[in-house]
Amino acid sequence: MNLDRDPALEAFRTEVAAFLDTAPTDAIREAGRRTTSAFAPFDQAMQWQRILNDKGWAAPGWPAEYGGTGWSLEQRYVFSEEYARRDLPPLLPNGLQMVGPLIIDKGTDEQKKRYLPGILSGADYWTQGYSEPGSGSDLASLRCSAVRDGDDYVINGSKIWTTLAHRANRMFMLVRTSTDGPKQAGITFLLLDRVDYPGMQIRPIVNLAGEEEQCEVFFEDVRVPASGRVGEENDGWAISKHLLTYERGASVTAPRMRRHLEQIRAAARTVPSPYGGNLADDPVFQRDLGEVAADVISFECVEKLIHSGHPMAKDPATPSMNKVLGSEITQRLTVLRTRVAGVGAVPRQLEAIEVGSGVEPLGSEFELTAMPWYLNSRATTIYAGTNEVQRDLVARTLGRR
């Protein structure tokens, strides 16, 4: 993938830059600057998605026949670079990057017709019902049950770590439909049209950063239409693994990592060093920053290979490898960021982080978001399958060769 010295690509970059410079509202730009995890502030992220969808740019990775842009791989990467350069809020991934592509690949024609337009436009937000208390990394041990009764399934049990479930209007989930045979063989994948079915209860969880981003969801004799099943009954393990390939490696993240590096490097030039000069001159800091920068560049090279159709993109070990590398680099970036912010990262300023509050932070926006971003990022090596599990998957794949 070569992004240089291509006049057509440069013209495309100019077009993208012009739109991204003018289309976002002030609130959307503020949401981008106040983003402290993979999930941007909900209202502004969804508003931004609707604007992008009106332009036809909400889902660059989707096939054109389902509302994608039809861009080349190089154009998609240029779009990601210009997007990150402006600190715009990332679009919420559950619909566009996870269940949307899954429905395109595995859904029925009726499911595609019913669900894809709302995912694309931002009318619908889907929360993910995978993890349960006692079934996190060992997802196959999940116990939330669904029993077929006529045209419905009746669900009983609970889910946890369902991101933004309290803001969602739809859910995709895994349920236990059989206890016979291997535990992976009794799981079914369901799409729920609503999250307010009778017997369904959602409770937000306050995270380390003080934000309500995750939820618990409880089911008591909840009847959902069986027409929401993707694939066959008891074939949900294969369906979920297909979705996880999108969750663990389908997005373009290196440009945003580069942007974080730029911000850290710029802020370090303003922080005095106890040894004279500023932190950016400190050789130890330079070493640590350089090591992360080298890994970001390496990750970017891998990401470009994956997205340009290199054979490694089809290697079953690649999504796990990508997840391990991306999550650990993200955590190291947050460590550097808090190190540069220093005591400026200590005050907990939840109101100042809230978009539109008008509350001025005690310090800079860089300092304001440093600690919440650091705390949120502790989960990156746990969610979507812990990194220990991912390393095991990589080892098993390599061991079979």
Catalytic residue numbers?
247
CB 224 within 8 A of CB 152: yes
Query: In terms of Cα–Cα distance, which of 97, 20, 64, 260 is closest to 12?
Result: 20
Query: In terms of Cα–Cα distance, which of 19, 38, 27, 25 is closest to 83?
Result: 19
Query: In terms of Cα–Cα distance, which of 275, 267, 294, 254 is closest to 81?
Result: 254
Torsion angles phi and psi, residue 187, rounded to 5: -115, 140
Q: How far apart are CA 392 and CA 379, in angstroms?
A: 19
Find the helix or strand (DSSP H, E) in which 172 lies. strand 170-176
CB 221 within 8 A of CB 157: no
DSSP bridge partners of 219: 157, 200
DSSP bridge partners of 203: 216
DSSP bridge partners of 157: 219
**Secondary-structure percent of the chain, ordered helix, strand, coil, rounded to 5:** 55, 15, 30
CB 51 within 8 A of CB 23: yes
Q: How far apart are CA 190 and CA 155, in angstroms?
A: 11
Q: How far apart are CA 121 and CA 116, in angstroms?
A: 9
SS3 148: strand
